Amino acid sequence: MQTYGLRWVTLNNVLEAKMALTQIGSDPGGIAHMAGKAVGRAIKLEQVPLRVAHILKQEMLSVGGDAAVHREVITNNVEATDVMLLGTTRQLEKLVPKILAQPFGLKKIGHDLMLLLKTLEISKIRSLNCRGLELKLGERTLVMGILNVTPDSFSDGGRYFNLENAIEQAERMIKEGVDILDIGAESTRPGHEEVSPDEEWRRIEPILKTLLERVSVPVSIDTYKAKVAARALEAGAHLINDVWGLQKDPDMARVVGEYKAPVIVMHNQVGTTYHHLMGDMMNFLRHSIELAEAQGLSGDQIIVDPGIGFGKTTEQNLEVMARLAEFKTLGHPVLLGTSRKSMIGKTLNLTVDERVEGTLATSVLGVVSGVDIIRVHDVQANVRAVQMADAIVRGQRGVYYEGA
C-alpha cells in the first residue's frame, strides 16, 4: 500500500519553513504567505491582570489561535494569571496590531511580542566591535578559551599562575582556533576565597599586557569588580565578563559604559531557591541588560550567560540546558559556559580531569540551541565539535540564502 513517504518534518523557524516549501516547488508568493503557518510558538506572560488576560484570550481566539490561563479566570477568583499564547507565527503576527490598539498596557505587550517574534528567527551575520577588534556573530559559533591565572582554580589547579606558563597556554589556544581569550584572576568555585581588587589586578596585569602585544584575538577579563575592570580596559582589554551581571559592584555598569566595552552579563544568585526557575533567571538578566543600556550599551554589546553552575542545583542546571534556546528571547547574543563543571561531574560521576566528553556534549547542544559563544578549557576538542555541529545546524541556511 502506498504511504507517500508520510513523515514529520521539524520546522523551528520561518526560514526553515521557507526552505521546505522551496524544495516542494511552491510558488514564491505562496511561500511568503504560508511559511508563518508552519511554525508553532508558545509565548508565556507571567502575572497578567485579569482584564488584560481576558483581552489576550479573546484576541488570540479571533486570529485562530488560543491562550491558556488559570482555570479561575472565568470566575474572576484570581487577581492575576500567567498566560500562554498558543499559535503559529502567522497568527501571533496578526495578534500584534490587534493588541497594539488596546488599553491597559497592551500596547507595550504588542511591541514586546513583535520584537520577540523577530528574535526567534535566524539572526543575521553581523560584526561586534570589541574596542577595535571585530568579532563576527551569526556566521558560526565562537569559542572563548579560559585562562585562569589563579593558584586555586577548580579545574587547572593553578597550572597557569606562572606568567610563562600562562602565555604558553594562551598561544596554544590561539593555534587551536580560539576566537576570544578570557583571563580570570579570582576563582569562582564554590567556597572560593575572595581576593582584593589590588591583588586581582596584580595577577592580571602582566599577562594582559603581554598578550595585548602578542595576540590578535580579543582579550576578555573575567571580573565582577569595577576597579579591576577599569584598570584592564584602560590597559587595552577588549571586553568584560561579569559573573554577577553588573549587579554585585554598583560601579561596574558605569565602567563598561564609559569605555564602550562589550560586556557578558551572567545570571547568578546566592542559594538555589526560585519561584519560577526560567522566569526568575530571565528577570535577573533583564535587569542586567537595563543596567548596561542605561550606560549607553545596546544590542550585541550586551551578551547574556545563563550561568550554569552558579546558584543552581544539578537538576536545575540540566533544566536550563534543556531550555537554552529560550534565552534568545532576550534579544542579545548568548554565551554558554559549562566546561568541566560539576553538573557534568555529578551527572556522569567523573572527576574534573575526566569531563571533556561531557563538555563536548553540552557544547554541541549549545550550537543546536543557537548560542553564539561557548566558553571552554579544552579548545581544540571543542572547536572541532562545534565546527561539525555548525556544519549540520547552519550549513543548509547558506544554500537557501544563495538560491533565494
Around Cβ 175, how many Cβ atoms within 10 Å?
10
**Catalytic (active site) residue 375:** yes
Of 41, 231, 340, 375, which is the active-site residue? Answer: 375
* C-alpha cell read off for 16: 526553515
Of 41, 90, 341, 355, which is the active-site residue? Answer: 341
**Catalytic (active site) residue 341:** yes
CA angle, residues 313, 268, 357, in degrees to nearest 5: 55
**Separation between Cα atoms, residue 204 and residue 180, nearest integer Å:** 16
Whether 88 and 65 have beta carbons less than 8 Å apart is answered as yes
* C-alpha cell read off for 352: 574534573
Helix residue spans in 323-355 (DSSP H): 342-348
**Separation between Cα atoms, residue 181 and residue 375, nearest integer Å:** 9
**Separation between Cα atoms, residue 137 and residue 130, nearest integer Å:** 12
**Separation between Cα atoms, residue 91 and residue 117, nearest integer Å:** 11
First to last CA, the chain: 37
The residues assigned a catalytic role are 341, 375
